[in-house]
Amino acid sequence: MSTLTHLDSKSTIELFDDYVIPNYTRYPVSLVRGEGSRVWDADGREYLDLFPGWGCNILGYSPPAVVQAIQEQAAKLIHVPNTWYTEQQGRFAEFLCTRSFGKAFFCNSGAEANEAAIKLARLHGSSEGRFRMITFEKGFHGRTFGALTATAQPKYHDGLGPLMAGFRYAAMNDLEGVAELIDDETCGIMIEPIQGEGGVRIPEDGFLQGLRNLCDEHGLLLIFDEVQTGMGRTGEWFAWQAAEVKPDVLTMAKGLAGGVACGAMIVRDEFAGDLRPGMHASTFGGNSLAMAAGLATGETIEREGLLDAVTDNAAYIHERLQAVQQELPIIKELRICGMMIGIDLTIPSGPAVGKAMEKGVLLNATSDTVVRLLPALNISREELDQGLDVVVSVLQDMAEDS
């Protein structure tokens, strides 16, 4: 192929109108190319993306080391079923476990990682008749039936019942409430150490430790859903390390393989055997391509010192936005942990998305009033400044309109 040709956005949208199920709300733009935190649409417009790939593009678009690893791996082996051993899976498991704990199971998405965790917790509790799981309001765990039931948000359940049996919902930061929901049939507690879709909600000090204590007291597995917070997003490899509360099970996906579909569950050694042979599997899980991409992603984060960069940039963002907050009373609260930024407003946050896009910046609105940014870990200070300038001007516009 000598020149790269592509359809304009309008033609691509026509294909979708004719052939793609309209279950997503999409911006009327087709994206064709990206590089770091920049992305271009089919009509040549450039955007600075503060929310690249919904958090999956943790090193931005097409990071060179990941592209190279994928190209080299694709030429050797793309997929090998789990009836064989592959070096890539062993090495990526080693990478993740030596930076957290235990042993890994690989799958292809966040929902699947959480399904594996729910099954593991039930298998662990099965000899004592334990099967119930406690999860949290405003949480998000995925769209398959187990993960969906774990997601305590009625809007995602509408019309899909009956859901899976055995789930109970608690309010975050209410330890007594959680304790009241535990009974002889409870097998585990599952929580995001920072709620992502729920609006970058960081639990109060002591809450996660309180859950740890309850789990220890009652023999429950503590499951942290780090699908969004994992892989360096918070400035530590995993959010449990920042919170200093070690779970029994850790689930991850999104940024895990730099934008290639990949999910994983990490389980403490003493519980790893609960997922006994034959009880769970994933055909594509741990495929060589995703494993090579994941390893290249992790090694890049380490080689480029990105965990420290994240912490520095987060402090800088906090300082800049705090100064703005003084002048803009529509900013109710800033919630920042590494490259996970929630700006909670006193007004609906939805209009921020379109206004920022008009100015060439991509961001996200979630949980009614929250502007959410999940910048790439390797975003430059210059890009960050440029992006924050636009965020601030959008918030100023919104304050004037309100």
Ligand X SMILES: *Cc1c(COP(=O)(O)O)cnc(C)c1O
User: Which residue numbers belong to the known binding site for N(2)-acetyl-L-ornithine?
Assistant: 143, 282
User: CB neighbours (10 Å) of residue 354?
Assistant: 11
Does residue 169 interact with ligand X by CB under 6 A? no
The DSSP output letter for 54 is G
Binding residues for ligand X, rule CB under 6 A, total 14
Does residue 109 interact with ligand X by CB under 6 A? yes
Closest C-alpha to 234, from 178, 291, 309, 298 = 309
Dist. CA 391–CA 102, nearest whole Å = 41
Does residue 148 interact with ligand X by CB under 6 A? no
Does residue 255 interact with ligand X by CB under 6 A? no
Output the smallest distance, CB 114 to ligand X, in A.
6
Does residue 228 interact with ligand X by CB under 6 A? yes
- Binding ligand X (rule: CB under 6 A), the pick from 104, 117, 227, 256 is 227
Does residue 383 interact with ligand X by CB under 6 A? no
Stretch that binds ligand X, among 98-106, 162-170, 190-198, 202-210 (CB under 6 A): 190-198
Residues contributing to the annotated binding site for pyridoxal 5'-phosphate: 110-111, 140, 225-228, 283
Output the smallest distance, CB 140 to ligand X, in A.
5
Restricting to residues 276-315, which ones interact with ligand X according to CB under 6 A? none
User: CB neighbours (10 Å) of residue 219?
Assistant: 12
Dist. CA 293–CA 58, nearest whole Å = 12
Q: Which residue has the tokens 């300082």?
A: 319
CB 224 within 8 A of CB 234: no
Amino acid (1-letter code) at residue 328: L
- Binding ligand X (rule: CB under 6 A), the pick from 142, 210, 255, 298 is 142
Q: Which residue has the tokens 């704990």?
A: 101
- Binding ligand X (rule: CB under 6 A), the pick from 41, 49, 115, 192 is 192
Restricting to residues 5-64, which ones interact with ligand X according to CB under 6 A? none
What is the 3-class SS of 250-297, one letter each residue? EEECHHHHCCCCCEEEEECHHHHCCCCCCCCCCCCCCCHHHHHHHHHH
Output the smallest distance, CB 50 to ligand X, in A.
17
Q: Which residues bind ligand X (CB under 6 A)?
A: 109-111, 140-142, 192, 196-197, 225, 227-228, 253-254
